[in-house]
Amino acid sequence: MIVFDPLWETLRRKGVSQYALIKEHGVSTGTLDSLRKNRSVTLNTINDLCRILDCGVSDIVRYIPDGEK
């Protein structure tokens, strides 16, 4: 299972709000909802978040093998 728990910590660390992602960077509210609910997002979305936050993929997503959560 892919989870986006690291994203929220990275946002805090970088001082970027979800509001800023929407208003300043054009991230849709639907995309943020998918991220909050650990639903699928495109690799393009992951790429955009890495660019916006100047970070690596591991700062946004974490893989948890099924049955370990």
Strand, coil or helix: what is 63? Answer: strand
In a domain, 53, yes or no: yes
Of 13, 48, 15, the closest CA to residue 32 belongs to 48
Domain that holds residue 58: 2-63
CA 36 to chain centroid: 8
What pLDDT was estimated at residue 62? 97
Total domains in the chain come to 1
Dist. CA 16–CA 11, nearest whole Å: 5
CATH code (residue 31):
1.10.260.40
What pLDDT was estimated at residue 67? 78
Dist. CA 31–CA 45, nearest whole Å: 8
> Is the model's pTM score more than 0.85?
yes
| pLDDT of 68 strictly over 80 | no
Strand, coil or helix: what is 56? Answer: coil
Convert the pLDDT of each residue in 1-47 to its tens digit.
999 999 999 999 999 999 999 999 999 999 999 999 999 999 999 99
